[in-house]
Amino acid sequence: MAVDSAPAHTSRQASFQAQPNRRDHAQRFYRPELDAVRFVAFLLVFLHHTSSQFVWRSPLIQVTGLGLCLFFALSAYLITTLLLREKAQTGTVSLRDFYIRRILRIWPLYFLGLAVGLLLDWRYGFFPTDRSWYIAAALLVGNFAVYMPSFVLPLWSISLEEQFYLLWPGLTRRLSHTGLLIACLALTICSWIATGIYGHLHADTANRVWFSSLVQMQMFTAGALLALRHDRQGCLLQNRALRIVALLLTPCIWLAAIRFGGIKGGYAPGALQLIVGYAAVALTCALILDALTAAPPRIPAFLAYLGRISFGLYVFHSPVFLLGKRYLPLHRPWTLLPAELCLTIAAAALSYRFFETPFLRLKQRFEIVRSRPINA
């Protein structure tokens, strides 16, 4: 969720290898359209998590929860792109620098979010039942816990992303382009097998299947496969009409995955339905990214900024929502939800400016492929 993008400049490979500490400021690259995707994905998740305020919960509200899948695909796409470009420049991938960058980007805000949630749980009397989850979350296996506290419920997904980061950089370092394609396909097949087993057992899709690392792995492999495709062959959707069709069909496909594939509601209808449902969501996430990178639209500065602070938006929206329900003198969704969104944006903006920025400046010292400026 908190990954930046940067280009490869293979013509500089020899000089870069001769001077491993050199950083290329002039060739910095930034894709604001991907920041816009971050914010749209967050907004979908926000609507899903606040949907309890609606009198009715239509399938369209359930569909918004799939914004998290878009987060996963985007994260894998950007991570893979950065790793491939680093490998093209230097001939290898520095695992040390990669993990330092990820720690500086994710851990400070993540553990701050856990601390805030812990204090709120203690304040409102939930901590005795939440202790085991906080231990699991601190060990980055929060998605395996049976019970998840409401104040920090969305943070389970950070554990899943960190698990992907443990696996993928090492594979990218060791494998060729073809080897990475094979690895992606193998991981995707493993994900389908796990999804099929859950479907065959008619598992609880909302509370068991959804949090599975193996099931969600196909979202990451979809993003990684797209990055591998772009690295060698360019975008899939070169035709403008195809890009429009892909973007327009995505809500329909997600709705079908919810209604007929059994994602995020009730018990799995069967192995085939669940496999097809998740695979369709993974495919459309990749197509969204491909369509937007093939012909990047002009992104307003404020939308790019909201994408830049999207990690803070994600961390703080659940505490703001629950406290807003309790204390804001508003009772209608069309007044309460905008107020909660504005408060979440304010909290994320303050966090980005005064808490995250020092860590981001330190993170820049370990960048091999220069990414987006902190204040772009």
- Residue 268: phi and psi, rounded to 5, are -60, 130
State if pTM tops 0.75.
yes
Whether 40 has a pLDDT exceeding 70, the answer reads yes
Instruction: Using alpha carbons only, give the angle 258, 260, 262 rounded to the nearest 5 degrees.
Output: 55
Helix (H) or strand (E) holding 156: helix 156-174
* Per-residue pLDDT at 11: 37
C-alpha closest to that of 310 among 338, 339, 351, 282: 351
Cα radius of gyration rounded to whole Å, the chain: 20
pLDDT at res. 45:
94
Is pLDDT above 50 for 365? Answer: yes
User: Looking at the predicted structure, is the pLDDT value of residue 162 above 90?
Assistant: yes
Among candidate residues 163, 176, 266, the one with its CA nearest the CA of residue 219: 163
- Tokens 């749209």 map to which residue? 40
Q: What one-character-per-residue DSSP string does 222-275 give?
A: HHHHHHHHHHHT--S--SHHHHHHHHHHHHHHHHHHHHTS-TTSSB---HHHHH
What pLDDT score does 128 carry? 61
What would the mean pLDDT of 35-53 be, rounded to a whole number? 89
Distance from C-alpha of 353 to C-alpha of 309, rounded to nearest angstrom: 9
- Tell me: pLDDT of 14 over 50: no
Q: Does pLDDT of 19 surpass 70?
A: no
